[in-house]
Each structure stands twice: as C-alpha cells, then as structure tokens.
Chain A
Amino acid sequence: MKKKFNLFNWLFDGNPLFSMLLGMCTTLAITTTFENGFVMGLSVTVVLLFSSIIVSLISKYISDELRIPSYIIVIATFVTVLEVLLRKYSIPVYEALGVYLPLITVNCIIMGRVLSFASKNKVGASILDSLKCGIQYTFAIVLLASIREILGNNSLTIIDNLSGLLGFKLSFNIFPSSIFVPSNIFLTSAGAFITLGILLGILNSIRNRGDSK
C-alpha cells in the first residue's frame, strides 16, 4: 500500500508538465500518437540530461549576465546534435516531430531545470535530477498522448515511425468500433487544449482529495 502511494507522488509531485505547466508548446502539438509523445519525451530527457551535465560543470565560470545566453547555446548544441542524428537514422521520426524538434531548445522545462538545479549543484546530483524530471515529463506526455489517440483514433501506435530503425510495427486498436466511435476532434488543437484542461482538473481533484485525507 505504501509503495503505490509513493509511486503516484513521485510521478506527479513537481511534474514539470502537470504541476508546473511548463513545456506545453511541444506537448500539445506532438501528442497525437503514443509514439510521437514517447519520442518527444525521450528527446527532451536526453537533451536535458546532457545539458545538465555540461551546465553543472561550467556554471561556476559563467558570470550572471551571461547565464541565459550561454545555457541556451549549450542546449541548442545538443538539440542540433539530436536533429542531425534523427535526420540521419530515422526520417519518419524527424518529420513527425517537425518544427517542434528544434523548439526543444526553448522548451521552458529544460531551461527552467538547468537554471534552478543544474547550475547550482554538482554533476552527480544534476544527473539524477534531470533523469527524474525527464521521466516525469515523458510519463505525462505519454499519458496525454494515449488519451488523445485512443479517443481520437481508437488506436495506440507504439512503433510506427521508428519501424525503419527497429524493423517492426506495433499498434493496437482499443475498443471495438461497435461500442465506441472515435472523434477526430481530439487530434485537433481545440481537442488538445480541452483534453489537457480536463485532465489537469481531474488530476488536481485527485491530489486535493489525497491532501485533505
């Protein structure tokens, strides 16, 4: 019983997306399939991890005014590396992420985390912190993506764009079409906003009920 309680808290407390509402731009745009969400979450985690390492190493040598520009350069470098790699090894993924891949550079999560934690802590702690943050974010984005894809397309696409790399496809249809009819609206922008809004509201009420106990 206690272990389950801790997992929920671990995932949601301080969750960059759900608690602090950061990084919404890329999240809302990308969560049309499970796979896209997962790939984005992974990308953000990777960039965050490496950026944290570098920042925590160099932060003592950077003056206060130059902080933000220099950190951005660090982040942008890793994003560029990621871009080049993806373009080389998996074009479908690269195209699915579209313009939101380079936009990871200005993703508030990474900048926020790096500024508030990595720049003030040693490398080891930064690695752990960024991993935790990345996992929380990936979990959140995958949750949203699953909801949107199931409601919007009655499917769950786990491997599709990555099939070139991994060699197989994997996707499910969830409900039989006689019971549930999906609606395209969840895959549009309006659906994204409303779904996230309702999801957040429900999560908040769960948390409130937990607190008041």
Chain B
Amino acid sequence: MKFKVDNGPHVKDSDNTSRIMNRLMIALIPIICFSVYKNVSIIYRMDISILEALKPLFMILIAIFTSVITEFLYSLFILKKNKKDLKEYMKHSYAIFPGLFLALVIPLNTPLLLVSLGAFIATLIGKMIFGGFGHNIFNPALTGALLVTTAYGSFISGTSNLFELDTIGSATPLANLANFNYVGTFEQIVGKFGSIFNYIFGTIPGTLGETNKFLILIAFIFLVATKVIKWRIPVFYISTVFVITYIVSLTNDIGIWYPLFHILSGGLLFGAVFMATDPVTSPITPMGQVLYGIGLGILTTILRFLTPYPEGVLTSILFMNMTVSLFDKIGLKIRNSFNKKLIYITIFILLVISTGFIINKNLNKDDSSVKILNVIKSEDSYVYEMSSKAWGVITANVTIKDGVVISVDIVNSSSETKWSHIVSNDYINKIINGQDNLDSLDAISGVTITSDGLKEMVKKVIEDYGDKYER
C-alpha cells in the first residue's frame, strides 16, 4: 500500500493546531521577557534613555504589528475574502509568528524600519505568496531575515545606530571565533565573554531569542511534555553538531569545553528548538525527522567553519527546508524495516564523522583568513574574486593589470562590518595608491580588522599574480 504524504501540519482538527501554537507562545514568553529585561538593565546602567533601552520590545511589537497588518491586507484585497471569512481566517492563520520569530532572530542593531520591512517580507513572500499558512516551503521568518540582512546589511552595523555599545550587539562569540581561525584557547574563545554560565544564562551578546540557553531548554522540556514539538529534530541536530565539533576538538587537543561552546553559542539552540521544528516546514515521519536533524547538523558545522559567515543555522534550516519531501519519502519507505533504518543511520553517521575530519583538514590547511575564490582573465587584466574574513566577511573583485592593482570592487560585505567608516575614509583608494607598501599603511581605528582584511586581500592578489602570471 502506497501512502502519500500531504503538507503539514498534520492535525485532526483546527483546535489541535491552535493548541500547538498557543503552547509555542507560552514557551516563548519567558525568553522574550528575559531578553527585554537584559537589554534594558544593561543599557540603563550605561545611561541611555528608557526609550532606546526598550528597543527590543519595540522590535517585537513592530514586527508583530507589521505581520498581522500585512496578512490582513493581503487576505482582504488580494484573496478578496469577505468580512465573515476574514475573521475565521485570521484566527487560524497565526499571523504573528513570522514577525515574532523574525524579531527574535534578527541582529539587535537593526533599525526598526528594517525590522518592519523584514516582517513584511517574511509574511508576504515567505508565507502568503506560497499559499498561506501550511503551504510555505521556506521558514517565513528566516526568509525575511535573510532577505533583509542581505539587502540592507550595511545599515545593520552602520554608525546611524545608537546600539553600537560594546556589550550589546557587537561581536558575538561566533564572530570572535572566526577571528581565531576557529581553534584557540579557552581564554581566547570563551573567556572573552565570561564563564560558561554566562553562555547558559544569556549574559552575552546575541539576538533576542538565542541568548538564554537555560530558558530555551526549559521551553524545550515544556514543549516535549505537552507533545507539541517534533523532539527528534532538535535532539539529533544538536547531537550532530556536538559530535562534529568534538571530533575537531579531539584532533586539535582541545578540551570538552569546545563542543559545549559551539552548542551554547549563536542561534543553534533557539533555531533547533523553535525554527527547525516548525510544523509546516519539517518532516512528519519519525525517521525522516532523525535524518533531517542530522542533515541540519552537518550543514551548520560546514557553514560555521568553512564559510566566512559566522553563523550557519539560518542558512542550514532554509536549505534543509527544500529537502523536506525527500526525507518524508525516505521516512515512509523505511518505517517498517529495521534493517533499512540501520543502513540509513549508518550512512549518515559516516557522513557526520567524515564531515568532522574534512573540517579539520580544511582548518589546518588555510591559516590565512583571505581566500582566492576564482580568477578570471579578461582582455588584458585578471580579475580575482576574493573573500576575506574581516569583521564578518567581505567578498570583492580585485582587478590587477600588468602587476598593478587597478580596482577593488566590493561585491558583498556582511552585516557585522562597519562599512561606512571604510567609505568615509576613502580607504580603498588609499590601498590602491599605496599598494607597493601596504604594511606601512595604517588601518582605520574602529575598523582595524576590516582594514587589515582589505589590505591582506590586495597583498595576496599581488603575490599570487607575481607567482603565476608574471613572466
């Protein structure tokens, strides 16, 4: 008998769905309260006005407001529902969630207007245009977050923002990790932000949802106990990340704090518990969930270690969203056969272990933070596509002709880079003019790491050109 798998969430009646969503809300409330309180108290100590201190609260409110209005207007004008249907529809559409999750995931430095734009995009493109609740393929909040941070990333860390204080929204632990090329001592990687307890209880920089791991854990237990969550996904997701980072730590002679650090930093716990388990965009079958979780773990570690972007959770979840029907198919096929289950699990475990070793190999090989991505020859010059782990990541095209760098075109710079400083100091022209003696060129204060990254990029291009193309 062949079963066909339909879209999630699979519930017997609409009451069940609302039960799930209500429990989810309950679970989120302590986390929200904590984050708001934390930001208020810290900023209050630094003597900023109450209005600015309450920014986290405003972020959440404006995001929720935008989502609901967007969905309301959409169903009114585009779906052309009449008044009676509209009420019923809005009750079961859970419009607040894309906005709410967006506010909990987006960097704290984001201007409120962008938060609203993000919520708008999340609701409109992430959810409504694909057919509304239950039909979206990608996690709406993450879609909105990704689109907004990619489109307007420079505003998220620009000087136009008052939240540029050292303890808030500045370098997150993962961004800091990237600067040490991913392995280092306890002091360098963990210690800068406090002890492990700081990580667990959330007194470290990070987005609204992710910092307090303890509360997330409590929420998880609550959600499992009330049978509202697909527990296999977070369990296997986090274990996989643990195992892979454990392999890395073993081969580099680092203690067990390293994998613990990885689990406790960034959006991993929050993403695993709240976003990867979104009933619409995750597998239904038990085995499917297991494999899905493992896949997420593999992707996240690959992204964290091998790409310049410090955090991998967002991209991994969005990527795996595409594969959901595949995992459900597999889950259905093997649900009755223990042997087949064993085979699949073994394959995945092998993948996990090899990921650990591959990451390790790539770590030791590349000890410079600048990478040459591609070299293209045009008429009489060479264009180098470079990526540089500055503060965050910069990708740029450096054009070199006859041994002289003639232009540096920035393709992309991540949200952590304070790009406005570079532009206002005309730094790129300074680099091009001073390329014969870059070591003596000063970095711009406040953006030293980015300045150094740019210099290193140009230096590497000149060096590589001299090695390969100069005759």
Contacts and interface: CB of A to CB of B under 8 A. Distances in A.
Contacts, number: 15
Interface stretch (A7-15, A44-52, A104-112, A179-187): A179-187
B379 A181 contact: no
Contact of B151 (A91, A95, A184): A184
A185 B379 contact: no
A95 B152 contact: no
B324 interface: no
A95 B379 contact: yes
A181 B113 CA distance: 12
Contacts of B200: none
Contacts of B378: 95
Interface residues of B, number: 9
A95 B376 CA distance: 12
A194 B144 CA distance: 13
B263 interface: no
B150 interface: yes
Contacts of A190: 150
Nearest to A98: B378
Interface in B78-128: 125
Nearest to A152: B151
A105 B426 CA distance: 43
A43 to B, nearest CB: 19
Contacts of B243: none
Interface string B370-386: 00000000110000000
B147 interface: yes
A95 B380 CA distance: 12
A183 B151 CA distance: 5
Interface string A178-213: 000101110010100010000000000000000000
A91 B152 contact: no
B379 A91 contact: yes
Contacts of A194: 125
A95 to B, nearest CB: 6
A96 to B, nearest CB: 11
Interface string B126-152: 000000000000000000000100111
B374 to A, nearest CB: 14
A183 B152 CA distance: 6
Contacts of B379: 91, 95
A194 B147 CA distance: 11
Interface in B348-385: 378-379
A95 B383 CA distance: 13
B131 to A, nearest CB: 13
Nearest to B410: A184
Contacts of A184: 151, 412
Interface string B146-185: 0100111001000000000000000000000000000000
A171 B151 CA distance: 24
Nearest to B113: A181
B371 to A, nearest CB: 20
Q: Most chain-A CB neighbours within 10 Å: which of B151, B378, B379, B412?
A: B151
B301 to A, nearest CB: 24
A190 B315 CA distance: 14
B137 to A, nearest CB: 14
B383 to A, nearest CB: 11
A191 to B, nearest CB: 8
Contacts of B412: 184
A183 B150 CA distance: 9
A38 B150 CA distance: 28
Contact of B150 (A91, A95, A181, A185): A185
Contacts of A185: 147, 150-151
Interface string A57-96: 0000000000000000000000000000000000100010
A122 B125 CA distance: 47
Interface in B302-320: none
A30 to B, nearest CB: 17
A190 B147 CA distance: 9
Contacts of A95: 378-379
A99 to B, nearest CB: 10
Q: Most chain-B CB neighbours within 10 Å: which of A185, A190, A194?
A: A185
Interface in A152-196: 181, 183-185, 188, 190, 194
B139 to A, nearest CB: 16
Contacts of B125: 194
A95 B151 CA distance: 27
Contacts of B152: 181, 183
B412 to A, nearest CB: 8
6 contacts: A91-B379, A95-B378, A181-B152, A181-B155, A183-B152, A188-B150
Interface of A: 91, 95, 181, 183-185, 188, 190, 194
Interface of B: 125, 147, 150-152, 155, 378-379, 412
Given A91-B379, A185-B151, 8 more contacts: A95-B378, A95-B379, A181-B155, A184-B151, A185-B147, A185-B150, A188-B150, A194-B125
